[in-house]
């Protein structure tokens, strides 16, 4: 039976600097220690949410000439919003096979890397599900391999209270999560999206 706990939450914004300022104003914690995803057209900053979990602010990277699918989606965002999430595990083949059996559009395992601002190379492998029916509601699976997990090296001060997926077809989405071993609750809502509640130095903060 598959089991994939929440690894990190992606909060997308058109500009990384304004996204950082918005997050810091809301929480009192300044994001840091991210980098660029070369070849994908995105860059990020990070905040630890506790053991094995972190918050990612992601935007397009103006220094890159080519925008990947995620970067193109983010480039249309006018207000920062929760965009997607990742779950952790090293059973990429099983995740791929299960997603395929469910009829989802799933990519083959992809190797990625970025260089932290301190010069350390971070490597990981991931499987992305970008299904036309569900969009970014289905999480990608990430394996950090021999790299240090970002929660250990990113700014602290925030902790995760809850993270939920919201969707009009909650029962169908919940079935997919259960089959993939995704340990995230699904709540019925009129619109698709996510809800993230954080404990912060400025009190409890709700992000959608």
Query: What is d(CA 204, CA 201) in angstroms, rounded to the nearest whole number?
Result: 8
Average pLDDT, stretch 136-149?
A: 96
Cβ–Cβ < 8 Å for 112, 128: no
User: Using the 8-state DSSP alphabet, how is residue 149 labeled?
Assistant: P
Average pLDDT, stretch 40-51?
A: 93
- What does the pLDDT read at residue 30? 98
- What does the pLDDT read at residue 36? 77
Please give the share of the chain, as a percent, with pLDDT higher than 90: 76
Domains in the chain with CATH codes: 6-155 (3.10.180.10)
pLDDT tens-place string over residues 58-102: 998 888 877 778 878 888 888 999 999 999 999 999 999 999 999
Average pLDDT, stretch 167-188?
A: 98
- What does the pLDDT read at residue 34? 82
- Label residues 67-87 b or e (16+ Cβ within 10 Å = b): beebbebbeebeebebbbbbb
- What does the pLDDT read at residue 14? 87
Q: Which segment of 46-55, 62-71, 181-190, 191-200 scores lowest on mean pLDDT? A: 62-71
Q: What is this structure's pTM?
A: 0.94
Pick from 123, 72, 49: nearest CA to 59: 72
């Amino acid at each position: 039976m598959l089991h994939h706990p929440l690894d990190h939450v992606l909060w997308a914004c058109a500009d990384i600097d304004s996204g950082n300022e918005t997050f810091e104003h809301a929480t009192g914690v300044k994001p840091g220690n991210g980098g660029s995803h070369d070849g994908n057209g995105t860059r990020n900053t990070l905040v630890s949410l506790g053991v094995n979990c972190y918050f990612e602010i992601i935007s397009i990277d103006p220094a890159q000439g080519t925008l990947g699918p995620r970067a193109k989606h983010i480039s249309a965002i006018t207000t920062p919003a929760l965009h997607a999430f990742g779950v952790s595990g090293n059973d990429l083949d099983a995740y791929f096979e299960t997603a395929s059996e469910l009829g989802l559009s799933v990519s083959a395992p992809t190797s990625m890397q970025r260089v932290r601002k301190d010069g350390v190379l971070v490597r990981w492998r991931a499987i992305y599900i970008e299904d036309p029916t569900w969009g970014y509601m289905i999480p990608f699976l990430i394996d950090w391999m021999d790299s240090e997990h970002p929660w250990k090296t990113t700014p602290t001060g925030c902790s995760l209270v809850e993270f939920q997926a919201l969707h009009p077809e909650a029962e169908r989405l919940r079935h997919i999560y259960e089959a993939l071993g995704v340990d995230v609750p699904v709540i019925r809502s009129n619109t698709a999206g996510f809800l993230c509640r954080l404990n912060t130095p400025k009190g409890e903060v709700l992000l959608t």
